[in-house]
Chains A and B, each alone.
Chain A
Amino acid sequence: MTAMTGTASEKSPSADDAGNVPVPAAKRARGEFLFFTLRSKKFVISVSILLLLAIVAILGPVVDSTDPLAQEMLPMRHPTLDPGNWFGTTYFGEDVFAQFANGLRASFFIGFLGGGLAAIIGMLVGFLAGYRGGWVDEILNMITNIFLVIPTLAVLLVVTSYLQARGVLFEAIFIGGTSWPWAARAIRAQTFSLRSRDFIDLAKLSGRPGWKVIVFEIAPNMSSYLFLTYILLFGGAILIAASLDFIGLGPTGGMSLGLMMFNAVTWAALQLGIWWWFVPPGVGIIAVVGALYVMNVGLDEIFNPKLREM
């Protein structure tokens, strides 16, 4: 994910009025928003890629219902057009397509849940720290820092060694629980800048409890921003999962793109020339994460007319 966070963390993509264009505001907002959503190349392309992959992830296992771990086919078969062998087979005669489809499913799941969890924690911490400030801010900051510097791998090692088997769910939760710090910081910064706005003061003066101000005043005002953050976390989670799987800390029993990669390498797919075992997971991850990042910028431009190319 690297500097993608830079984008999200510093600038609020809050829409601003596009100059004194004499078109009734409401009409402009609705019209242009929709229009741009459909016109933004970045958005349309990325979303269609994601949809396509999502369809594979959802329908793939249905269409090709072979158990991804069943070693029932001829081993190391080249991809062919005949059904059930579109992506060829692994060293053990497992159906690569089945693995890919299920792996994709897992990756989406991890991104969705892990990213979601991270987003929620990030928001809680970020909002609280940014809104309350003072010592609450200090403490939350410290916690964030700790999570930033602890090699989460270490924690994972300890946890996993206690689990007989760890599933995709666990992996997602773990990633969610450890990858939130940058989001928290970014949201904190945003909340901070919002806190001083008049309408917030107004809300405060009107005696509404803090959480209400956050939920009904602050959050809506940075909703687009939060959404963009979530997209980045989504993609990040998938990448982190891939790394974990690669050093053998991935889900046991289940299937994920990272795990496919890990197996392909363990069983020397490259040297044996079983490229069709090694390539799909990598390309799959790149496609999903890349599309997410592109979508992020696409949406940013939609939310924020200034950024559009004219």
Chain B
Amino acid sequence: MSLQVSDLRVYYRTLAGDVKALDGVTFSVADKEIMGLAGESGCGKSTLGNSLIRLDGRMKYISGSVNLDGAEVPIWDDKEMIPFRFREVSVVPQYAMSAMNPTRKIGKMVSELTESRGLRFREIKDELDRRIDLVGLDRDVLKRYPIELSGGMKQRVVMVISTLLDPSLLIADEITSALDVSTQRAVAETLVSFRDHGFVKSMMVITHDISILYQIADSILIMYAGKLAEKAATSTIIEKPRHPYTQMLISSLPEVGVRYADKKLAGIPGSPPSLLDPPTGCRFRARCPLAFSKCVEEPPFVEVDTDHSVACWKVAGTDA
């Protein structure tokens, strides 16, 4: 068991009040597992990704624990987190295009970064070069400035940098959304190869784009309105999803390869509830065709099958 998240609550401080963006999620990611994390924008998936590595100024840790390789990850304490970042947990941000200091040569930046983490750049250099080769880039990109690189190149460089210290967990946040289809494929494959080379133990791929997950993810975790809806092996989620939301989500994809899931979701009547004061009980019930009286109670996220958990009374009920 590489990553274990239990009952994690992280809220957003806004002027209107606390937005319960992440309201008690519990799941785990196994070694070597690439877990996809999908859902409409605003469902809290990015919040989840961020909170595992760095809570920004507006995020507030409420409760829950994160356990990585048996060690407690103190996500609530920015200072305590520092040793984990980069080494244990790392991220490929959605803004990869602009993630590098425009006025520093890439190599220089990496060396300054690693040195600042108490490492000797010289000792890492060769590995860095090897990985640059691996992602199919010319080694002298390190002697270049970010603006000299194309979007795809930047993307790949950032991936190399983020994984340079072989972190246990890599969070890839919307990394493909800004790219064209062919580059997407390349990037996706790179991720897999990173896992296969053991640069990263396990991975969380956050995306709108289920088709990408279909290509690379071992399992998919569907989130809705700050809570978990369903988690199962990729094939299971695609072929026989159990949660009504997931079903609508998947069925709304005419065929695999369609880009933005949430675009299609216009088809689902209604919109997600405001997370300022979310309704009690199942948060999907307002839009759920199957909703019934029980749904006013909070549905538990229960394993309905091996490695298949769902939060829905109907599903739980039928099996019970």
Contact = CB atoms under 8 A, between A and B. Distances in A.
Interface of A: 18-24, 28, 31-32, 35-36, 39, 310
Contacts of B36: none
Interface string B24-54: 0000000000000000011110110000000
A310 B13 CA distance: 9
A36 B225 CA distance: 27
B14 A23 contact: yes
Contact of B275 (A22, A28, A31, A39): A22
A16 to B, nearest CB: 11
A32 B42 contact: no
Nearest to B50: A19
A21 B19 contact: yes
A31 B41 contact: no
Contacts of A21: 12, 14, 19, 21, 42, 58
Nearest to B226: A22
A20 B47 CA distance: 8
Contacts of A22: 19, 21, 42-44, 225-226, 272, 274-275
Given A18-B58, A310-B58, A24 B15 contact: no
A24 B58 contact: no
Given A35-B15, A310-B13, A24 B56 contact: no
| Chain B at the A interface: SS class | loop
Contacts of A35: 15
Contacts of B271: 24
A24 B274 CA distance: 8
Given A19-B12, A20-B47, A22-B226, 20 more contacts: A18-B14, A18-B58, A19-B56, A20-B41, A21-B14, A21-B42, A22-B19, A22-B21, A22-B272, A22-B275, A23-B16, A23-B19, A24-B271, A24-B274, A28-B14, A28-B16, A32-B14, A32-B16, A39-B15, A310-B57
A23 to B, nearest CB: 6
B19 A32 contact: no
Contacts of B58: 18-19, 21, 310
Contacts of B56: 19
B276 interface: yes
B274 A23 contact: yes
Contacts of B15: 31-32, 35-36, 39
**Of A20, A36, A310, which is in contact with the most chain B CB atoms at under 10 Å from its CB?**
A20
For chain B, which range describes its interface: under 10, 10 to 19, 20 to 34, or 35 or more residues?
20 to 34
Nearest to A25: B42
Contacts, number: 49
Contacts of A36: 15
A32 B12 CA distance: 14
A20 B41 CA distance: 7
Contacts of A28: 14, 16
Nearest to B44: A22
Nearest to B59: A19
Contacts of B226: 22
12 contacts: A19-B56, A19-B58, A20-B42, A22-B19, A22-B43, A22-B44, A22-B274, A22-B275, A23-B14, A23-B19, A31-B16, A310-B58
Contacts of A32: 14-16
Contacts of B43: 22
Contacts of B47: 20
A310 to B, nearest CB: 4
Interface string B258-302: 000000000000011011100000000000000000000000000
Contacts of A20: 21, 41-42, 44, 46-47
Contacts of A18: 14, 58
Contacts of B274: 22-24
A21 B226 CA distance: 11
Nearest to B46: A20
B291 to A, nearest CB: 21
B21 to A, nearest CB: 6
A259 B189 CA distance: 73
Contacts of B225: 22
A36 B15 CA distance: 9
Nearest to A18: B58
5 A-B pairs with the lowest CB-CB distances in the bound complex, closest first: A22-B42, A310-B57, A22-B275, A20-B46, A35-B15
Contacts of B42: 20-22
B238 to A, nearest CB: 25
B141 to A, nearest CB: 24
A31 B19 CA distance: 15
A21 B275 CA distance: 9
Contacts of A24: 271, 274
Contacts of B19: 21-23
A39 B15 CA distance: 10
A36 B276 CA distance: 19
B98 to A, nearest CB: 12
Contacts of B46: 19-20
Nearest to A20: B46
A217 to B, nearest CB: 23
Contacts of B21: 20-22
Interface in B185-212: none
A24 to B, nearest CB: 7
**Of A23, A35, A36, A310, which is in contact with the most chain B CB atoms at under 10 Å from its CB?**
A23
B180 to A, nearest CB: 14
Interface in B31-88: 41-44, 46-47, 56-58
Contact of A23 (B13, B41, B57, B276): B276
Nearest to A24: B274
A21 B46 CA distance: 10
Nearest to B15: A35
